[in-house]
Copies of this chain bind each other. A is one copy, B any other.
């Protein structure tokens, strides 16, 4: 099991978008060039973000994407679920119903114990992601990235927004 690479791309793109001045849009082409990934495919990830109302888009020249709300109102979980879907990582196929000893027509009273444990773990994962906001990421990047590189990148992006 592995998250798709689009999740990583979407997160990086949101990080860039969160640093953009209000009202400016950034095109897929620019985001793809900055990250060195295929433009056409990256657009699928951005489409997911758009449908989830995390970003909003504009057409035409000078069009592109921007965040639909403040970075302090967007969590990692929002982004991950926009790309990967909201369904649990564990799906219970109810194989217990195939138990040859099970009386026909018997109806389970509660969810499978195994599924409950797995879903609980899934929830722990989501809670962890929910606890980190895009604004938190912004602060982390400020301290992690050398000031020089940070400023250069910012200007590079701004010149194309």
Interface residues of A (CB under 8 A from B): 1-5, 7-9, 11-12, 15, 33-37, 76, 84, 87, 89-93, 95-96, 98-103, 106, 109-110, 113-114, 116-118, 120-122, 124-129, 132, 137, 140-141, 144, 149, 152-153, 156
What is the count of identical protomers in the complex? 2
Given contacts A34-B99, A156-B100, contact A125 B121 (CB under 8 A): yes
For A110, give the chain B residue with the smallest CB separation. Answer: B144
Among candidates B2, B37, B117, residue contacting A91 with C-beta atoms closer than 8 Å: B2
Chain B residues, Cβ within 8 Å of A132? 117
Most chain-B CB neighbours within 10 Å: which of A11, A92, A109, A127?
Answer: A11
Is A144 within 8 A of B90, CB to CB?
no
A–B Cβ pairs within 8 angstroms, 14 of them: A1-B1, A1-B84, A2-B89, A2-B91, A8-B91, A8-B93, A9-B95, A11-B114, A33-B100, A34-B98, A89-B89, A121-B126, A124-B127, A124-B128
